[in-house]
Amino acid sequence: AQSVTQLGSHVSVSEGALVLLRCNYSSSVPPYLFWYVQYPNQGLQLLLKYTSAATLVKGINGFEAEFKKSETSFHLTKPSAHMSDAAEYFCAVSGGQGAQKLVFGQGTRLTINP
Amino acid sequence: GAVVSQHPSWVICKSGTSVKIECRSLDFQATTMFWYRQFPKQSLMLMATSNEGSKATYEQGVEKDKFLINHASLTLSTLTVTSAHPEDSSFYICSARVIGDQIYSNQPQHFGDGTRLSIL
């Protein structure tokens, strides 16, 4: 079984500050990990994915995430927040041969203060 | 590439009517599509996995007679909410995997923009 826990349902940072969204996973097989972003009344857009290659993954819009097996974590970061980053962020996990399902975390709402 | 279109984006209807939501992969073929339900300020809950040419696989607790899924082609899956009631009001999102990717769990799902369903 797989699960994802996102620490903090709501994160608020100032424009230009560091963004850190936390994600911890549990998986009985080597995981594949994803971060998605959702803007109001829209579907999900893929930010980045970890698929057992490089542990530091760079995504779109200046986001990156680091896979740390020892900590079972896949935290999302961005050095300098922009007002347009305000959205809901979801961490998700899948894994195992033929495993098609994505298991999502609870989501973290990111607010950017001017 | 990998665009998924959902229609309609918003629907309001009376209690007791049936509502059909379409999910189309515009620039790729998808053997597998997924249907999710999202309540306000909550995460996505997988309702069912839609497989082209075969019966959908429903998650535990999802009424298959209530939420009818048809995946008749490699680019279209439909979700019909039958005899809808106010408690069925929600945001429904579909996603799809590029054909050939279904055996690779490291490939991302591509999401539609969702359908907001409001039952009066």
pLDDT given for residue A52 in this prediction: 76
Least confident stretch, A20-29, A91-100, B25-34, B110-119: A91-100
Give the pLDDT of chain A (114 residues) as one tens digit per residue.
Answer: 788 999 999 999 999 999 999 999 998 888 889 999 999 888 899 999 998 778 999 999 999 999 999 999 999 999 999 999 999 999 999 875 555 788 899 999 999 999
Q: Which pLDDT tens digit goes with each residue over B79-109?
A: 999 999 999 999 999 999 876 655 555 677 8
Concatenating the DSSP letter of every residue in A88-108 gives: EEEEEEEESTT----EE---E
Looking at residue B64, the DSSP 8-state letter turns out to be T
Whole-number average pLDDT of chain B: 89
Q: Which of A37, A60, A88, A102 to mutate to test the interface with B (most CBs of B within 10 A)?
A: A102
Contact B88, B15 (CB under 8 A): no
Contact A36, A25 (CB under 8 A): no
Q: Do B46 and A49 touch (CB under 8 A)?
A: no
Query: Which residue in B has a C-alpha nearest to residue A45's C-alpha?
Result: B111
Those of residues 3-22 in B touching chain A at CB distance below 8 A are 4, 6, 9
Q: Do B41 and A109 touch (CB under 8 A)?
A: yes
pLDDT given for residue A28 in this prediction: 82
CB atoms within 10 A of CB A72: 14
Task: For chain A, say whether B43 makes contact (Cβ under 8 Å).
Answer: yes
pLDDT given for residue B66 in this prediction: 96
Residue with tokens 């996603």: B95
Given a cut of 60, whether residue B38 has pLDDT beyond it is yes
Q: Which pLDDT tens digit goes with each residue over B54-74?
A: 889 999 999 999 999 998 888
Our CA dihedral for B47, B51, B57, B58, rounded to 10 degrees, sits at 20
Q: Do B43 and A106 touch (CB under 8 A)?
A: yes
pLDDT given for residue A51 in this prediction: 81
CA distance A36 to A107: 9
CA distance A28 to B1: 33
pLDDT given for residue A96 in this prediction: 58
CB < 8 Å to B41, chain A = 107, 109
CB < 8 Å to B93, chain A = 43-44
3-state secondary structure of B99: coil
E strands present in B10-113: 10-13, 19-25, 32-38, 44-51, 57-58, 67-73, 76-81, 90-96, 110-111
Higher pLDDT, B108 or B34: B34
